[in-house]
Chains A and B, each alone.
Chain A
Amino acid sequence: MIILFNAMRPEDVLALTPAGLCCKRGSFHIDPTRAVGRALITHAHSDHARPGHGAVLATQETLDLMRLRYGDDFAGTAQAIRYGENVRLDGAMVSFHPAGHILGSAQIAVEVDGLRVVASGDYKNIPDPTCTPFERIRCDVFITEATFALPVFRHGDPSGEIARLLRSVALFPERAHLVGAYSLGKAQRLIALLRGAGYDRPIYLHGAIESITRYYESRGIALGELRLVRGADKAALAGTITICPPSTLNDLWARRFPDPVNAFASGWMRVRARARQQGVVLPLVISDHADWDGLTATIAATGAGEVWVTHGQEDALVHWCRTRGLKARPLDIVGYGDEDEQGEQSIREAEE
């Protein structure tokens, strides 16, 4: 069989359209930012998974989480795909592979005439007890996120951060610890990390985090005893840990806690000003995105000769790729990277 590599350009496999990345040969979009006929969804964060598409192909967990957030009519039809399974969509072959970002998250490999492009969505290449580990996929073109694509971002070992949280809880038994964490993924990972560190007391949850956390448990992820803050006695919250959406840390809701210590689990916490702006006293560098070393190592490992860089610090990563002799360009997709800014805002208003 003769394959004409030269005839096929990466743009013929995946191209940027107003609705997001589009595969014409396969008649589908990946993580489209507006409603389309057929969408392949990498993961359930709201900036990637939007409601209203005609047909959706995603992992079972992603579909379940979309249903949980948007209701049963989140799409016309929904089809589940397993990691590693190959599915032909018109002229393209697609497969989903673990991205290690959150439960059900996937990188999507699209192959047309022997040219393989991997859209990785959001990913991290370190272990996470709440999701399948990241898998390295060889490809010709790698599409990468760039949330933490500056050499100042090095997340380190999350167990050290959990240890600091537990030390602070021991140091201030009369105070409540509020840990801001994004509702989908980070919150559950934090709980699992706490359990892994041997913390077996009840962990309290903000109401906005409950249903997703219960779903994680239903998928066999053990999270120990969880309680809702709602209705809890103020004095009883002394010495406890509560996981809540970041935006609630400084809000009316936080007044029910005794002298709370504000913590925030995020890769942004590496930068002091970011932590201080948000009134965070105990910053925890725990991220569900790859750090600078993770991004650069992953790019190198894919063997891709060309890299497309989406949302975040594109400039730095494109620059790095070029210094390594790789073809690279930024991909301006409007609307990625704000799940939590927007998502949490509406939660806060609802609470008020």
Chain B
Amino acid sequence: MNRFAALLNSLAYEPARNAKLRLIREYFRSTADPERGWALAALTGALSFPHAKPGLIRRLIGERTDPVLFALSYDYVGDLSETVALMWPAQQSPLPSGERPASRCGSEPGEGEQTSSRSPSPDLADARSTSPHRGEVKELTLTSVVETLATLGKAQLPQQLARWLDLLDENGRWALIKLVTGGLRVGVSARLAKTAVADIGSREVQEIELIWPALAPPYVELFAWLEARAEKPVSGPAPFRPPMLAHALDEPDLATLDPGDFLAEWKWDGIRVQAVAAAPLPPAPHLGERRVGIARLYSRTGEDISKAFPDLIDALHLPGAVDGELLIRRDGVVQSFNVLQQRLNRKTVTPKLLTQFPAHLRAYDLLADGDEDLRGLPFAERRTRLEDFVVRLNDDRIDLSPLVDFAGWEELGAARKNPEAAGAGRDAAAIEGVMLKRRTAPYLPGRPKGPWWKWKREPFIVDAVLMYAQRGHGKRSSYYSDYTFGLWTRGNGGDELVPVGKAYFGFTDEELLQIDRFVRRNTIERFGPVREVVHEPDQGLVMEVAFEGLQRSTRHKSGLAMRFPRINRLRWDKPPGEADRLERLESMIARAEHGAVS
């Protein structure tokens, strides 16, 4: 438990992705089975302990500390696990010699609340424990915690947790509470944890994703394979296949490309998904083709999102793997991303949600047909197989993404500018450009350059005024590189700027230095790490901001949120008074909501 706690502690402090990867890798390399497998399960969110609720933790600490002191401490620390970990009264027991300063200069330790030596471990090299219960703590492993909790009744839980909290040091207590109450929140995604696992066997994370659904904690067979001690685990039914991604097209690239080599499709503004269905095991031919063992819907990163889309899962009744776009389709018309947003990130899927926001899969590739892997076939052939598959599937909720006819790049460019007139009709609201796919290209995982291109529609552009700047992280940590910008609107005392978004990329290194200098010289107020920068009609910095779309948002004062905002250009020449007005964004979103874009 202590080593796992040390890992979590280091991860919590480390902001950089690569350093986090290194920490997790080192942990996996230096930790034995099954301990490391349970750690992987914890990091990927595969563990849950339904009876361990924050309320239980509160009750335990309430029985042991003064409620006023706890309330004041919790208020100060702001995190339940941490407050409890720090306040938990250590058990009275003699300390190993040398653990405590020889004298406390004429005073005795406080009554009742005995000092415990702190053992934070920001670096993994730090495996020491200065806990008074050194020996016992070593025996308390993550494995024993997980195994005990798996068999423990609800009634025994409080006592068991308290016993463990007594045994552990502060860091261990913090990690244990985080672990059992769910949600480690140490800035590690499941994908990152899997990447670290892949690294120890010098494998690509895609390979792990492919077999992941067939694996279960504590992943002993996975580690055995990565350490070349065993065969690769066989992927289970309906595995995720690493997706093929496109490069953004620069228009000059077109001159080097032959239109005859490519097929074109609309680029849909939805969620890229992979819909996979497996034949039942064992096969039951007497039930016919419609009988399916298992169906899953995966996000682009391999996350299983089946539970959020039961309506689509029902539709996956032919064994195979479809690559496509998740959209909302009402009355035969594909809805804009703004509408799709309202179906996403919901905790529970209510019948009302299913009726109001019916999920739809627009298919554009077929990776497997039954047991047959099609990824080695040229795209044109896969396309024919896909068309046949969709016909056989024969379900309203899944249809084919149509090809866009074109003779040359100019014609395709015109279709990109006006999809509605080029065959997309009322679906145009959900189109954000065109895709070019080389007829002869096999399906290659990752982002190979050449076979697939995305040619997005022109971004939206506004001229906004820099209002606040904040220092960045990692290698930008001393530069003001996060910018909040605003647009003019009518306020109580005349025109005023209202913040509309935040951007932290799009500029060159040289421009970053210029803005950094501007921020430092034109600060009018500081709020912790944030500086307010001068923003008057005749004084300040205008930034040309590019973005992909707009959504309504209650989190922003302006009521709007931009998608993928970035700094397109610095307008040192433009006085802030001539920057754009909020009304311009409002009319853009009104048009988007009525289905007519651009």
Decide if A and B are genuine partners: yes
Hey, which bits of chain A sit against chain B, CB under 8 A? 100, 125-127, 133-136, 150-157, 160, 164, 167-168, 170-171, 250-252, 254-255, 270-273, 275-277, 279-283, 285, 292-298, 300-301, 313, 315-316, 319-320, 323, 352
- Looking at B116-124, B223-231, B253-261, B276-284, the stretch in contact with chain A turns out to be B116-124
Can you name 20 extra interface pairs (CB under 8 A) apart from A270-B86, A319-B68? A125-B105, A135-B105, A135-B106, A150-B76, A151-B87, A152-B77, A154-B86, A154-B116, A154-B118, A157-B99, A157-B100, A160-B118, A171-B123, A250-B477, A292-B110, A295-B110, A300-B108, A300-B110, A313-B72, A319-B66
CA distance A154 to B78 in the complex (A): 17
- The answer to whether A276 and B13 have CB atoms under 8 Å apart is yes
Kindly list chain B residues whose C-beta atoms are within 8 Å of the C-beta of A320: 66, 69
- One of B99, B103, B115 near A154 (C-beta < 8 A): B115
23 interchain pairs, CB-CB under 8 A: A125-B106, A135-B106, A136-B106, A150-B76, A152-B82, A156-B116, A157-B117, A160-B118, A160-B130, A164-B121, A167-B125, A168-B125, A272-B79, A273-B77, A276-B12, A276-B13, A281-B15, A285-B120, A293-B115, A297-B108, A315-B72, A319-B72, A320-B66
CA distance A87 to B24 in the complex (A): 62
Contact pattern, B 78-118, Cβ under 8 Å of A = 1, otherwise 0? 11001100110000000000011111111111110111111
- The answer to whether B82 and A297 have CB atoms under 8 Å apart is no
CA distance A324 to B87 in the complex (A): 19
Given the known interface contacts A164-B123, A250-B471, A275-B13, the answer about A125 and B107 at a Cβ–Cβ threshold of 8 Å is: yes
Kindly list chain B residues whose C-beta atoms are within 8 Å of the C-beta of A298: 107
Report B24 CB to chain A, min CB distance, Å: 16
Is the CB of B496 closer than 8 A to any CB of chain A? no
CA distance A164 to B124 in the complex (A): 10
Is the CB of B160 closer than 8 A to any CB of chain A? no
- The answer to whether A352 and B107 have CB atoms under 8 Å apart is no
- One of A151, A280, A283, A296 near B73 (C-beta < 8 A): A151
Given the known interface contacts A127-B102, A156-B118, the answer about A150 and B125 at a Cβ–Cβ threshold of 8 Å is: no
Report B473 CB to chain A, min CB distance, Å: 7
- The answer to whether A127 and B103 have CB atoms under 8 Å apart is yes
Instruction: Output the nearest chain A residue to B70 by Cβ-Cβ distance.
Output: A151
Report B517 CB to chain A, min CB distance, Å: 10
- One of B69, B125, B478 near A251 (C-beta < 8 A): B478
Is the CB of B65 closer than 8 A to any CB of chain A? yes
- The answer to whether A157 and B113 have CB atoms under 8 Å apart is no
- One of A136, A151, A252 near B113 (C-beta < 8 A): A151
Kindly list chain A residues whose C-beta atoms are within 8 Å of the C-beta of B110: 292-297, 300
**Best-surrounded residue of A168, A282, A297 (most CB of chain B within 10 A):** A297
Instruction: Output the nearest chain A residue to B10 by Cβ-Cβ distance.
Output: A281
Is the CB of B591 closer than 8 A to any CB of chain A? no
Instruction: Output the nearest chain A residue to B471 by Cβ-Cβ distance.
Output: A250
- One of B12, B105, B115 near A100 (C-beta < 8 A): B105
Kindly list chain B residues whose C-beta atoms are within 8 Å of the C-beta of A277: 528-529
- The answer to whether B122 and A283 have CB atoms under 8 Å apart is yes
Report B475 CB to chain A, min CB distance, Å: 9
Contact pattern, B 466-489, Cβ under 8 Å of A = 1, otherwise 0? 000001010001100000000000
Is the CB of B557 closer than 8 A to any CB of chain A? no
Kindly list chain B residues whose C-beta atoms are within 8 Å of the C-beta of A273: 77-79
Is the CB of B536 closer than 8 A to any CB of chain A? no
Give me the 8 closest cross-chain CB pairs, A-B, nearest first.
A156-B118, A296-B110, A152-B86, A136-B106, A293-B110, A297-B107, A134-B105, A133-B105
- The answer to whether B15 and A283 have CB atoms under 8 Å apart is no
CA distance A279 to B470 in the complex (A): 13
- One of B66, B87, B116, B478 near A252 (C-beta < 8 A): B478
Q: What's the count of A-B pairs with C-beta under 8 Å?
A: 158
Contact pattern, B 52-84, Cβ under 8 Å of A = 1, otherwise 0? 000000000000011011001100111100110
Report B197 CB to chain A, min CB distance, Å: 22
Instruction: Output the nearest chain B residue to A259 by Cβ-Cβ distance.
Output: B475
Kindly list chain A residues whose C-beta atoms are within 8 Å of the C-beta of B119: 160
Kindly list chain A residues whose C-beta atoms are within 8 Å of the C-beta of B473: 279
Hey, which bits of chain B sit against chain A, CB under 8 A? 12-15, 65-66, 68-69, 72-73, 76-79, 82-83, 86-87, 99-111, 113-123, 125-126, 130, 471, 473, 477-478, 520, 528-529
CA distance A282 to B86 in the complex (A): 18
Given the known interface contacts A151-B65, A157-B117, A279-B473, the answer about A255 and B520 at a Cβ–Cβ threshold of 8 Å is: no
Instruction: Output the nearest chain B residue to A274 by Cβ-Cβ distance.
Output: B77
- The answer to whether A281 and B126 have CB atoms under 8 Å apart is no
CA distance A60 to B105 in the complex (A): 23
- The answer to whether A293 and B109 have CB atoms under 8 Å apart is yes
Report A279 CB to chain B, min CB distance, Å: 6
Instruction: Output the nearest chain A residue to B89 by Cβ-Cβ distance.
Output: A151
CA distance A297 to B112 in the complex (A): 11
CA distance A170 to B124 in the complex (A): 12
Report A97 CB to chain B, min CB distance, Å: 11
CA distance A162 to B548 in the complex (A): 50
Kindly list chain B residues whose C-beta atoms are within 8 Å of the C-beta of A171: 123, 125
Kindly list chain B residues whose C-beta atoms are within 8 Å of the C-beta of A315: 72
- The answer to whether A270 and B118 have CB atoms under 8 Å apart is yes
- The answer to whether B77 and A127 have CB atoms under 8 Å apart is no
Instruction: Output the nearest chain A residue to B475 by Cβ-Cβ distance.
Output: A259
- The answer to whether B111 and A300 have CB atoms under 8 Å apart is yes
- The answer to whether A150 and B69 have CB atoms under 8 Å apart is yes
CA distance A254 to B478 in the complex (A): 8
Report A256 CB to chain B, min CB distance, Å: 10
- The answer to whether B117 and A160 have CB atoms under 8 Å apart is yes
Kindly list chain B residues whose C-beta atoms are within 8 Å of the C-beta of A293: 109-110, 113-115
CA distance A313 to B76 in the complex (A): 9
Kindly list chain B residues whose C-beta atoms are within 8 Å of the C-beta of A276: 12-13
Given the known interface contacts A157-B99, A315-B72, the answer about A134 and B123 at a Cβ–Cβ threshold of 8 Å is: no
CA distance A255 to B114 in the complex (A): 43
- The answer to whether A271 and B107 have CB atoms under 8 Å apart is no
Report B375 CB to chain A, min CB distance, Å: 41
- The answer to whether B109 and A167 have CB atoms under 8 Å apart is no
Report A46 CB to chain B, min CB distance, Å: 20
- The answer to whether A255 and B105 have CB atoms under 8 Å apart is no
Kindly list chain A residues whose C-beta atoms are within 8 Å of the C-beta of B130: 156-157, 160
Given the known interface contacts A271-B76, A272-B12, the answer about A279 and B107 at a Cβ–Cβ threshold of 8 Å is: no
Kindly list chain B residues whose C-beta atoms are within 8 Å of the C-beta of A152: 73, 76-77, 82-83, 86-87
Given the known interface contacts A135-B106, A292-B113, A301-B107, the answer about A282 and B13 at a Cβ–Cβ threshold of 8 Å is: yes
Kindly list chain B residues whose C-beta atoms are within 8 Å of the C-beta of A127: 101-103, 105
- The answer to whether B120 and A126 have CB atoms under 8 Å apart is no
CA distance A152 to B118 in the complex (A): 11
Kindly list chain A residues whose C-beta atoms are within 8 Å of the C-beta of B120: 164, 283, 285
Instruction: Output the nearest chain B residue to A271 by Cβ-Cβ distance.
Output: B77
CA distance A23 to B120 in the complex (A): 45
Report A314 CB to chain B, min CB distance, Å: 10
CA distance A298 to B109 in the complex (A): 9
Instruction: Output the nearest chain B residue to A128 by Cβ-Cβ distance.
Output: B105
- The answer to whether B12 and A294 have CB atoms under 8 Å apart is no
Given the known interface contacts A150-B69, A281-B13, the answer about A168 and B123 at a Cβ–Cβ threshold of 8 Å is: yes
CA distance A252 to B521 in the complex (A): 14
Kindly list chain A residues whose C-beta atoms are within 8 Å of the C-beta of B87: 151-152
Instruction: Output the nearest chain A residue to B78 by Cβ-Cβ distance.
Output: A273
Report A153 CB to chain B, min CB distance, Å: 8
- The answer to whether B69 and A296 have CB atoms under 8 Å apart is no
Kindly list chain B residues whose C-beta atoms are within 8 Å of the C-beta of A164: 120-123, 126
- The answer to whether A157 and B106 have CB atoms under 8 Å apart is no
- The answer to whether A281 and B478 have CB atoms under 8 Å apart is no
Kindly list chain A residues whose C-beta atoms are within 8 Å of the C-beta of B107: 125, 134, 136, 294, 297-298, 300-301
Kindly list chain A residues whose C-beta atoms are within 8 Å of the C-beta of B78: 273
- The answer to whether A301 and B108 have CB atoms under 8 Å apart is yes
